[in-house]
Amino acid sequence: MAQTQRRFQGLPAMFGTLWPGVAVVVAVAIAAQFLSDHYGAPAMLMALLLGIAFHFLSEEGRCKPGIDLCARTVLRLGVALLGMRISVELLMGLGASTILLLVLAIAATVGFGLVAARLLGRGWRLALLTSGAVAICGASAAMAIAAVLPRNEFSERNLIFTVLSVTVLSTIAMIFYPILAQTMGLDARATGIFFGGTIHDVAQVVGAGFSVSSEAGETATLVKLIRVTMLAPVVIVFALATRNVGQGEGAGADPAAAKSARPPLLPGFVLAFLALAAMNSFGLVPDAVSGIGADASRWALLAGIVAVGMKTSLRRVLDVGGDAVALIVAETIFIGLFILAGIYYLGHV
């Protein structure tokens, strides 16, 4: 009882420590959404750029604890709430052949990323981060994957680079992929599969799909949500595959400290994602609650990426190098060619 009382007594002090940083992050997130709503720019991109502009707030002072909270806990909450958008009904709506194509595309893109990163002399962390983001759902996947990978001194820089890159590439794809689909003579269903299977972020998938036709837009959105469904299995596989790589790598690493720094076998936000997806599949989540959850997820992810931007110096992002840009562009081209080949093989054209 005494211990519980001490915890409650400490809440005001904790709130007083966190609120300045949280308030700043929320204000910047609202500004990013305002710019997106009124000028058509991707909200994630605006959040990222505005966050980087306020990097000085995370270096020291009153805002640092709240920014750290948003960059970790709030971000993971946003990923977990994505589970409300997933259901078994979604999986059954496309057919086994299209789902198999998407699974193979994700696996092949991750494999291609690892090989390409090795050829370019880049590490496996960057390879998993960029290929996972390209293969699944862009910025959301990058943040989820970064949360389970063993950390090193480049982790935040690589995350911000990946989020920035997939957002820019998604916007470019939203503009040029409809022209490409028309040039290749793809019908509405094939166009939707192509957009949903290759464009990184959900908003750009919707924009590209409905710019062609309602059928293309609906198919693209459905295919994209199937890719989002793959987020939890891929994150679990990455967590298991890298769990024994201690965060204290290096010559002077303490084995005991490295062991204690391992991420959990199944991160809590992944379990929450799976639980919410299962509840949604069984119809246990009312439509009103699902809508609120989707909005909460979007705002939590927006706040999370603002905070991640605040924690990263633009100079460090630019230090990532041209080979990293080449890697993520190559992964984007690879998944595009893979999905197109699958569309032709399955006879969707």
Residues 6 or more apart in contact with residue 151 via CB below 8 angstroms: 247
Q: Are 70 and 47 in contact (CB under 8 A)?
A: no
Scan for tokens 């009153």, then name that residue: 62
Given a cut of 90, whether residue 107 has pLDDT beyond it is yes
Residues 6+ apart with CB under 8 A from 295: none
Q: Rounded to whole angstroms, how far apart are CA atoms 332 and 337?
A: 9
How much is the pLDDT for 339? 95
Cβ–Cβ under 8 Å, residues 51 and 309: yes
Query: Is the dihedral angle over the CA atoms 316, 322, 324, 330 positive or is it negative?
Result: positive
Is the pLDDT at 270 greater than 60, yes or no?
A: yes
State residue 157's pLDDT score: 84
Instruction: Please give the torsion angle defined by the CA atoms of residues 120, 122, 126 and 128, in that order, rounded to the nearest 10 degrees.
Output: 70
Which of 145-159, 184-198, 235-249 is predicted least confidently?
235-249
Q: Say if residues 64 and 310 touch (Cβ distance below 8 Å).
A: no
Task: Give 229-268 pLDDT, tens digit per residue.
Answer: 888 889 889 988 887 665 444 434 444 444 444 555 556 7
Q: Does 31 score more than 90 pLDDT?
A: yes
Which residues have CB under 8 Å from 78's CB, separation 6+? Answer: 140, 143, 296, 297, 298, 299, 300, 301, 302, 303, 304
Answer whether 0.85 is exceeded by the pTM.
no
